[in-house]
Amino acid sequence: MPLWKDGKLGLPVKEAVKLFPELKDYLDERGRLDFSNRKARILYNRVIAKALFGLDIDYHPRGLVTPPISRYLFLKTFLKGGEKVLEIGTGHTAMMALMADKLFNCEVTATELDDEFFEYARRNIERNLAKVRLIKSNGGIIRGVVPEDERFDVIFSAPPYYERPTKGVLTEGEGVGGGKYGEAFSVKLIEEARDYLRPGGRVALFLPDKEPLIRAISERGSELGYSVRDVRFRAGTRWRHSLILGL
């Protein structure tokens, strides 16, 4: 596990400033970083990606500021290493696809719907000399996007999960999962995934601590014949869930 020198999975702001002096502009008089400032969050997360995971990531100025540590902890809940994996919606950073390739030695295919995010993802993959195969989604999730005869050990995603558009924070494609609890995107994903998994394969979803959302996806998963395991983990100040559905 990539740990900073103090033995913790994380990076003290003081150390981050040494690595990226630009961060100084966003510190208050007590040396605290202004996390309400998007540019500061992007810079800090870029330093973490670089210092802890060896990844050089360019963030889209208006995209979700994907935090590397939570994504790494999520991947650790279901990857052993060397699997053939598919990520749905890799985003502009392509962070999880890059980690799966570079840190878990997986054979990685990743999809993305948004044109600008796709282009950023492509460049992030190139910049890190990664072997990720990137596919542009046409609006579909798996079927019609990924070659019909491909089979994977794991299909994973940090899916959009809001019921309807939210103000400001995310683009609609990043945010809106649809359905009563935001579960519709994830439900469609697990329905389609059955046909693209190898025997014993799994789907893993990165989800927030929203009980009705998790229940809706889990119930549909059980109906579809998956075994369902909910792994809750702490990422910074928040609880996150890795919902793992096995065939």
Instruction: By CB under 6 A, name the binding residues for ligand SAM.
Output: 64, 66, 71, 88-91, 95-96, 111-114, 117, 137, 139, 141, 158, 160, 173-174
Task: Compute the least distance from the CB of residue 196 to ligand SAM, in Å.
Answer: 14
Which residues make Cβ contacts (< 8 Å) with residue 156, sequence separation at least 6? 74, 75, 78, 85, 86, 87, 88, 96, 203, 204, 205, 206
Residue listed under structure tokens 């798996």: 142
Determine phi and psi for 200, rounding to 5 degrees.
Answer: 80, 5
Task: Compute the least distance from the CB of residue 5 to ligand SAM, in Å.
Answer: 27
Task: Compute the least distance from the CB of residue 169 to ligand SAM, in Å.
Answer: 10
- The C-alpha atoms of residue 206 and residue 185 are separated, in whole angstroms, by 13
- Complex with ligand SAM: residue 17 or 206, whichever CB lies closer: 206
- The C-alpha atoms of residue 89 and residue 160 are separated, in whole angstroms, by 9
Task: Compute the least distance from the CB of residue 202 to ligand SAM, in Å.
Answer: 17
Q: Which two tokens stand for residue 232?
A: 């809750």
- Complex with ligand SAM: residue 96 or 197, whichever CB lies closer: 96
- The C-alpha atoms of residue 174 and residue 204 are separated, in whole angstroms, by 18
- Complex with ligand SAM: residue 109 or 137, whichever CB lies closer: 137
Task: Compute the least distance from the CB of residue 185 to ligand SAM, in Å.
Answer: 7
- Complex with ligand SAM: residue 124 or 218, whichever CB lies closer: 124
Task: Compute the least distance from the CB of residue 200 to ligand SAM, in Å.
Answer: 24
CB 92 within 8 A of CB 60: yes
- Complex with ligand SAM: residue 17 or 185, whichever CB lies closer: 185
CB 215 within 8 A of CB 186: no
- Complex with ligand SAM: residue 23 or 98, whichever CB lies closer: 98
Q: How many helices (H) and strands (E) does the chain have?
A: 8, 7
SS3 (DSSP) at 65:
coil
Task: Compute the least distance from the CB of residue 140 to ligand SAM, in Å.
Answer: 6
- The C-alpha atoms of residue 166 and residue 193 are separated, in whole angstroms, by 28
- Complex with ligand SAM: residue 40 or 95, whichever CB lies closer: 95
Q: Cβ-closest residue to ligand SAM?
A: 89
- The C-alpha atoms of residue 224 and residue 191 are separated, in whole angstroms, by 7
